[in-house]
Structure 1
Amino acid sequence: MTPDSVAEDPDILPAGVRYTNIDIFGRDLESEGARTIRSAADARAFMESMNRGFVVNEHERSAFARLFTQLANTQGPQLFHCNSGKDHTGWAAAIVQSIAGADPETIMQDYMLTNEYSAETIKKKNEQLLAAVGAERAAW
């Protein structure tokens, strides 16, 4: 999560929990996207580019490597998440499930549950985007 998103919506941690923030993106993609999206095709292209970045951008690859290394080297229960819980968290969960031997269909079914469990959060994010870009640009 970006430092701004952590400050905006900090985690409430139980006693004894160790917190580590790994900023996967290293930049503010939300505002970058809000400035460039003018159509549904733009939105799709932005999301495809963002997700492609998980495996081709050096900063993101390094951040994911840090996450997976920490998961592998830390004892006891662990939790990883992001603001929305669907993009880089979904990618990380899919990789962990793959390493654990889950089949691709199960991994996809699990990922698609994000739409159901995050419907309210996604709705709020869409409303924020609408407010940021205006109704005429978001009418697509």
Structure 2
Amino acid sequence: MNIPGLPNFRDLGGHRTSHGTVIAPGALFRSVDLSRLEPAGGEALGALGIRRIIDLRTTVEVEKRPDRLPERMSSRHLDVLADAGAAAGAQVGRIMEDPRRLTEVLGGGAARDRMAATYRDIVSMPSALRSYRELFLGFAGDAGAGGVLFHCTTGKDRTGWAAASLMLLLGVDEDAVTEDYLRTNADLLPAMQPVLDRFAGQGGDPDVLLPVLGVQEEYLRTALDEVEVRFGGIRGYATDGLGLTEQDIDRLAAAVTVDAGSGGGGLR
């Protein structure tokens, strides 16, 4: 789906669950932030029936690069990394400040280690648990409110976990979840080439940025391992971690899935 100003944008609709349903097309969308959304992109979002935006970025990120909200769309801010402190929101912005130094800091596997730590945080950090709870309850809310677009900065980590954990909770096969998660590399990395080029031009090694700017299956596996250790699985993550009731989970499934044979679109 080509939305001007939104690389890594896609509809989660069509993924089959183990309960004879599919995620409804037009219900849930994921993307990068909307700070570069072009007017034509805003019109395209409206045409898709999107009415609500949920922003998973830090306050620092939101203030630095506020979303360009199309008309008739509401927005809600859920700061997943609030408990990580203000430094978390500035992390991406510091990438270009000292490429040589950053090459040293992120080299030798350090970038992957840092990403693994981030994924453990977005599973277990209190602010993350609060934010994902509210996100899922928002998905389960007013079925007549239109489609929901959720995003962070590049739509790959906080957003990637939101999509992956939701799909797993709904009963989507783990292989399909992983495939959707890794699709970010094809959808996002080409748009990040100018960043890599500038980084190289200033003396940095762009190879050390790839683990940070893209996604790897081991990151998702780290998150799932954290879920297993702390909560005993995805259902325990939802109930014990996020504090969702069985009724909440049923409402969520009813709001964002349709019978596999119905071919329905949008929220039911």
TM-score by length of 1: 0.80
Structure richer in helix, relative to its length: 1
Against the structure 1 CA distance between its residues 66 and 116, is the aligned structure 2 distance closer, same or farther, given a 3 Å change threshold? same
What do residues 45-84 of structure 1 show as CA deviations (whole Å, max 9, x unaligned)?
1000000112221121122112112122243211101111
Q: Which range is displaced more, 79-88 or 49-58?
A: 49-58
- 1:19 and 2:19 are equivalent in the alignment: no
Q: CA separation in 2, counterparts of 1:11 and 1:42?
A: 31
Against the structure 1 CA distance between its residues 55 and 82, is the aligned structure 2 distance closer, same or farther, given a 3 Å change threshold? same
Q: Post-superposition shift, 1:137?
A: 7.8
Tell me the equivalent position of 2:147.
77
Tell me the equivalent position of 1:43.
111
Q: How many residues align?
A: 137
Asked if the contact 2:119/2:157 (under 8 Å) is kept, the reply is yes
Q: Post-superposition shift, 1:124?
A: 4.9
Q: CA separation in 2, counterparts of 1:8 and 1:69?
A: 28
Q: Post-superposition shift, 1:92?
A: 0.3
Against the structure 1 CA distance between its residues 124 and 70, is the aligned structure 2 distance closer, same or farther, given a 3 Å change threshold? farther
Q: Post-superposition shift, 1:22?
A: 0.9
Against the structure 1 CA distance between its residues 105 and 68, is the aligned structure 2 distance closer, same or farther, given a 3 Å change threshold? same
Against the structure 1 CA distance between its residues 50 and 74, is the aligned structure 2 distance closer, same or farther, given a 3 Å change threshold? farther
Q: CA separation in 1, counterparts of 2:108 and 2:190?
A: 21
Asked if the contact 1:94/1:111 (under 8 Å) is kept, the reply is yes
- 1:62 and 2:118 are equivalent in the alignment: no
- 1:113 and 2:183 are equivalent in the alignment: yes
- Matched letter for residue 133 of structure 2: A
TM-score by length of 2: 0.45
Tell me the equivalent position of 1:5.
61
Structure richer in strand, relative to its length: 2
- Matched letter for residue 96 of structure 1: L
SS of corresponding position for 1:70: helix
CA RMSD of the aligned region, Å? 2.8
SS of corresponding position for 1:19: strand
Give unpaired runs (5+ residues) of structure 2.
1-56, 96-101, 209-268
Against the structure 1 CA distance between its residues 38 and 16, is the aligned structure 2 distance closer, same or farther, given a 3 Å change threshold? closer
Against the structure 1 CA distance between its residues 4 and 77, is the aligned structure 2 distance closer, same or farther, given a 3 Å change threshold? same
Q: Post-superposition shift, 1:139?
A: 7.3
- Matched letter for residue 129 of structure 2: R
Identity among equivalent positions (%) equals 26
Tell me the equivalent position of 1:86.
156
Against the structure 1 CA distance between its residues 139 and 98, is the aligned structure 2 distance closer, same or farther, given a 3 Å change threshold? closer
- Matched letter for residue 64 of structure 2: E
Q: Which range is displaced more, 118-127 or 2-11?
A: 118-127
